[in-house]
């Protein structure tokens, strides 16, 4: 039962500063082992990828969860954002390298990353608008088909663009184009390697905040109205096409940022990372978590990113005596994707509404809503 | 009757001018001249399939008339999308209730308050003072409306879990949250028990007075129609067969024939 009302209190700058400082300390701890909590490159990678998945899942929630419009082409927006921001970093490095002569390194690198991510967001948003405007006038399935087609078109186009590597992939994004006779500038790449966890954590938090504030507001209620009954939504004066397009553009822009993060984290892109399966994976995250729930999207992103990795270690779950008695257990990790699929099927049978349904964690809900004076009735 | 029409035509809020709606070969509404005066409760009645709901759909922009005009306060609204007509002050309820089932009663009413929202997307993301003030304003208005319709106790219940009568009243509350000029009620008494329809009948005129409304009512329950309406427009097979006061209509032989056949 919804016993929350929109948050009307002031904003808390202190909380924001504390979160940024906390992420910074975590980054220092994880990457440099400052407090003895250093993580292996593998674990750090999994955690960072979880963060990027969260951005993807939470931004898709606005379209699929809140507005009830089924988009299965978000890998396309991710690809557009990834390649756009990677191209800006790769080909537009000169002014920043010049700035490095007069300014300390980290503000310049930070600015360079932000500019690239902003371009990723803008290009993703424009792509969202171009795809959404003609198709969101249609209902339901049409959107799914068109977004699916869009995702594939993007991938095929990227396969054929030579400056960004084509089918070979986009390499050395942070180092810039190769200049014969000069060794590549590694400074930005090193900066990214050491700080990407921080940036991903920051963007993921920002995405949750932005989407949550939109979802739990007048705008979010309009989207929910469209999801519940589009004819009635129009009859109470909601410009349904406009609201859906807005949600789509915001979602595509945030997905573009996620793509940008992905590009800068791996320092490499390949069109094959953005197939239809990637789109389905993002949809699966939010369906598993519970459509329309931010908490669900966050958990779904975590589960779906960690699970395939965790299943690699399956054999270790059994004591040596058991593995010795049943040698076939040693080959269990080979079947990890089968087990992964079975687990998903099992979860959806046990909880068809997703892990969280439409509910939120109380602490998360409190960011966007305040508790109503009394208990819900009925 | 012609004189009366001419005299009050200056105050006509909503009108159709020889409006025709065709679905392929079927003529659902033919040359309809409907005039609703400001502050009036007008009943739109007729046998099943007479085209009453089609007329509502034309008035609210869901259907575009094949020919003829629809005017709101003297301006043509033909071709405007439904949300634009709603924003200009035409609210409606639906014959088959269309609430936002998963949303709470309060949220249902709040969604309809968005029309006066001026805070943009950026203000919403930043939670500016203006955005917060508007959220509070919407909430207060919605709560007041729920109070008015005796739904305050159910404000946190999902709309789909409410009883049928409560759902009907919630739909009216939601429509009123738009602060409309004209309210179109499509069979508001359908599915209500005699007690509830009696209350509804009394409420309709009260609503008109309190909210300064003009009301058009499609209804089959004749007690409600005769009790609540000042003027009645009778259609049969898409054509007007009588317009007049409840007393006139009850005595009109064409109306009696339309409803009961040739006796």
The CATH number of the domain holding residue B80 is: 3.40.50.300
pLDDT tens figures, A127-176 = 999 998 888 877 778 888 889 999 999 999 999 998 888 889 999 999 98
**Pair (B145, B22) in one structural domain:** no
Residue A375 domain flag:
no
Query: What pLDDT was estimated at residue A371?
Result: 57
Q: Are residues B189 and B162 in the same domain?
A: no
Q: Which two tokens stand for residue A86?
A: 């990677």
Alpha-carbon span B169 to A238, nearest angstrom: 21
Count of other CB atoms within 10 angstroms of residue A85 = 31
Q: What is this model's ipTM?
A: 0.89
- Quote the minimal CA–CA distance from B120 to chain A in Å: 9
**B186 and B246 share one domain:** yes
Residue in A227, A232, A376 nearest the CB of B94:
A232
Calculate mean pLDDT across residues A250-276: 95
CB spacing of B62 vs A231 below 8 angstroms: yes
Q: In this structure, what is the dihedral angle of CA atoms B222, B260, B249, B41, given to the nearest 10 degrees? A: 30
Residue A370: its pLDDT value, please? 63
Put simply, whether A13 touches B (Cβ < 8 Å) is: no
Q: Is B168 on the interface with A (CB under 8 A)?
A: no
Same domain, B112 and B152: yes
Instruction: Check residue B263 and give its pLDDT.
Output: 61
At A192 the pLDDT is 93
Mean pLDDT of the region A352-374: 77
A217 touching chain B per CB within 8 A: yes
* Chain B from 61 to 90: CB within 8 A of any A CB: 62, 81-84, 86-87
Contact B60 A235 (CB under 8 A): yes
**pLDDT (tens digit, 9 = 90+) per residue, B197-245?**
888 888 898 999 999 999 999 998 888 899 899 999 999 988 999 999 9
Tokens of A46: 């999994």
Q: What are the chain A neighbours of B185 within 8 Å (beta carbons)?
A: none
In-domain check, residue B95: no
Of B98, B114, B154, the CB nearest to A222: B114
How many domains, in total, are found in chain A? Answer: 1
Residue A152 exposed, middle or buried by CB count within 10 Å (0-12, 13-18, 19+): middle
All residues of chain B having their beta carbon less than 8 Å from the beta carbon of residue A370 are none
B36 phi, psi to nearest 5 deg: -115, 120
pLDDT of residue B202: 87
Any A CB within 8 A of B102 CB = yes
The helix/strand/coil state of A99 is helix
Q: Are residues B79 and B186 in the same domain?
A: yes
Domain annotation covers residue A372: no
Mutate to test the interface with A, among B81, B90, B114, B174 (most CBs of A within 10 A): B114
The minimum CA-CA distance between A318 and chain B, rounded to whole Å, is: 45
Report CB contact under 8 Å: B98, A229.
yes
Contacts of A246 in chain B (CB under 8 A): 121
Q: Which domain holds residue A99?
A: 2-367
Q: What is the pLDDT of residue A365?
A: 84
Q: Write out the two tokens for B18.
A: 């020889």
Instruction: Answer yes or no: is B94 within a domain.
Output: no
Residue A308 has pLDDT above 60, yes or no: yes
pLDDT of A323 reads 75
Mean pLDDT calculated for residue range A61-73: 92
User: What is the distance in angstroms between the Cα of A190 and the nearest Cα belonging to chain B?
Assistant: 33
For A5, nearest residue in chain B (alpha carbons): B139
Alpha carbons A118 and A345: distance in angstroms, whole number: 38
Averaged pLDDT in 10-residue chunks for chain B of 263 residues: 44 92 91 93 90 93 93 93 94 94 94 79 84 87 93 93 92 94 93 86 90 93 90 92 91 86 68
The closest alpha carbon to B240, from B69, B52, B87, belongs to B52
pTM of the shown model: 0.89
Domain range for B63 is 1-89+180-263
Cβ contact (<8 Å) for B62 and A7? no
Q: Which of A1-5, A14-18, A146-150, A332-336 has the lowest mean pLDDT?
A: A1-5
In a domain? residue A219: yes
With cut-offs at 50, 70 and 90, classify the pLDDT of residue A318. Answer: confident
Report the alpha-carbon distance of residue B187 to residue B201 in Å, rounded: 12
User: For residue A374, is it within any domain?
Assistant: no
Q: In chain B, what residues touch A6 (CB-CB under 8 Å)?
A: 132, 135, 139
> Measured on CA atoms in the order A130, A131, A132, A133, is the torsion positive or negative?
positive
Distance CA A303, CA B30 (A): 61
Q: What is the pLDDT of residue B121?
A: 85
- The CATH number assigned to the domain holding A263 equals 1.10.3470
- Among A94-98, A179-183, A323-327, B98-102, the least confident range: A323-327
Q: Which of B111, B136, B154 sits opposite A377 (nearest CB)?
A: B154
Check if A373 contacts B (Cβ < 8 Å).
no
HSE value, Cβ hemisphere, 13 Å, CA-based, for B250: 10
Specify the number of domains making up chain B: 2
Chain B positions in Cβ-Cβ contact with residue A225 (cut-off 8 Å) = 100, 103, 111
Chain B closest-CA separation from residue A3 CA (Å): 6
Statement to judge: residues B193 and B81 lie in one domain = yes
Instruction: Please answer yes or no on whether A214 and B121 come within 8 Å at the CB atom.
Output: yes
Helix A41-60 and helix A187-215, axial crossing angle in degrees, nearest 10: 30
- Give the full edge-to-edge strand order of the sheet including B12-23: B26-37, B12-23, B67-72, B75-76
Mean pLDDT of chain A: 88
Buried b vs exposed e over B57-93: b needs ≥16 C-beta within 10 Å?
A: bbbbbbbebeebebbbeeeebbebebbebbbbbbbbb
Whether residue A85 is predicted with pLDDT greater than 90 in this model: the reply is yes
Any domain includes A326 = yes
Chain B contacts in chain A segment 221-250 (CB below 8 A) = 221-222, 224-225, 227-229, 231-240, 246, 250
CA distances from B32 to A154, B52, B212, B240 (A): 52, 11, 26, 7
Q: How much is the pLDDT for A372?
A: 55
The answer to whether residues B163 and B111 belong to one domain is yes
Does residue A215 lie in a domain region?
yes
Position B97 in a domain: no
Is A327 part of any domain?
A: yes
Inter-chain residue contact B121 with A250, CB threshold 8 Å: yes
The pLDDT of A205-224, averaged and rounded, is 93
Domain membership of residue B96 (yes or no) is: no
Select from B102, B121, B138 the Cβ nearest to the Cβ of A246.
Answer: B121
pLDDT confidence tier of residue A8, bands split at 50, 70 and 90 = very low
A169 inside domain: yes
Is residue A374 predicted with pLDDT exceeding 50?
no
Q: Which 3 state secondary structure label does DSSP give A284?
A: helix
């Amino acid at each position: 039962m919804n016993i929350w009302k929109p948050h009307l209190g002031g904003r808390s700058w202190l909380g924001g500063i504390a979160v940024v400082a906390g992420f910074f300390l975590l980054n220092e701890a994880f990457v440099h082992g400052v407090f003895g909590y250093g993580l292996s490159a593998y674990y750090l990678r999994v955690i960072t990828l979880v963060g990027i998945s969260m951005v993807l899942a939470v931004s898709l929630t606005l379209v699929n969860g809140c507005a009830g419009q089924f988009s299965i082409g978000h890998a396309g927006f991710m690809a557009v954002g990834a390649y756009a921001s990677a191209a800006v970093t790769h080909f537009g490095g000169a002014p920043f390298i010049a700035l490095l002569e007069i300014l300390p390194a980290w503000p310049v690198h930070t600015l360079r990353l932000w500019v690239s991510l902003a371009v990723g967001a803008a290009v993703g948003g424009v792509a969202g608008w171009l795809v959404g405007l003609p198709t969101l006038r249609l209902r339901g399935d049409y959107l799914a088909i068109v977004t699916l087609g869009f995702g594939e078109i993007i991938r095929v186009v990227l396969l054929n663009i030579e400056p960004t590597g084509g089918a070979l992939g986009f390499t050395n994004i942070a180092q810039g184009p190769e200049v014969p006779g000069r060794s590549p500038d590694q400074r930005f790449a090193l900066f990214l390697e050491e700080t990407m966890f921080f940036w991903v954590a920051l963007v993921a938090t920002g995405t949750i905040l932005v989407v949550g504030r939109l979802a739990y507001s007048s705008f979010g209620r309009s989207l929910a109205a469209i999801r519940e009954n589009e004819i009635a939504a129009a009859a109470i004066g909601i410009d349904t096409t406009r609201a859906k397009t807005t949600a789509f553009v915001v979602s595509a822009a945030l997905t573009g940022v996620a793509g940008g993060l992905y590009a800068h984290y791996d320092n490499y892109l390949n069109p094959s990372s953005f197939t239809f399966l990637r789109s389905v994976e993002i949809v699966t995250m939010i369906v598993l978590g519970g459509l329309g729930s931010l908490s669900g999207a966050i958990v779904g992103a975590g589960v779906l990113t960690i699970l395939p990795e965790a299943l690699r270690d399956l054999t270790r779950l059994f004591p040596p005596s058991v593995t010795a008695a049943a040698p076939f257990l040693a080959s269990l990790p080979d079947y990890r994707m089968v087990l992964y699929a079975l687990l998903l099927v099992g979860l959806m049978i046990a909880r068809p509404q997703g892990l969280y349904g439409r509910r939120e964690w109380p602490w998360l809900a409190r960011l966007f809503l305040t508790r109503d004076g009394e208990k819900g009735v009925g | 009757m012609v004189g009366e029409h001419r005299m009050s035509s200056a105050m006509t809020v909503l009108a159709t001018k020889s409006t025709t709606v065709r679905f392929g070969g079927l003529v659902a509404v033919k040359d309809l001249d409907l005039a609703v005066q400001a502050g009036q409760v007008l009943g739109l009645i007729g046998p099943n399939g007479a085209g009453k709901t089609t007329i509502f759909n034309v008035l609210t922009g869901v259907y575009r008339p094949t020919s003829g005009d629809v005017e709101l306060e003297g301006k043509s609204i033909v071709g405007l999308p439904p949300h634009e007509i709603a924003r200009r002050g035409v609210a409606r309820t639906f014959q088959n209730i269309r609430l936002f089932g998963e949303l709470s009663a309060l949220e249902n009413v709040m969604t309809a308050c968005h029309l006066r929202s001026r805070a943009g997307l950026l203000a919403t993301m930043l939670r500016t003072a203006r955005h917060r003030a508007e959220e509070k304003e919407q909430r207060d208005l919605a709560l007041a409306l729920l109070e008015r319709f005796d739904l305050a106790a159910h404000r946190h219940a999902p709309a789909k879990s409410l009883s049928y009568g409560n759902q009907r009243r919630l739909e009216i509350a939601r429509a009123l949250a738009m602060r409309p000029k004209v309210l179109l009620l499509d069979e508001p008494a359908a599915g209500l028990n005699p007690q509830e329809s009696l209350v509804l009948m009394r409420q309709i005129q009260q609503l008109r007075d309190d909210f300064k409304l003009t009301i058009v009512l499609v209804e089959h329950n004749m007690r409600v129609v005769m009790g609540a309406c000042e003027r009645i427009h009778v259609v049969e097979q898409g054509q007007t067969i009588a317009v007049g006061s409840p007393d006139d209509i009850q005595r009109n032989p064409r109306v009696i024939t339309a409803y009961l056949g040739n006796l």
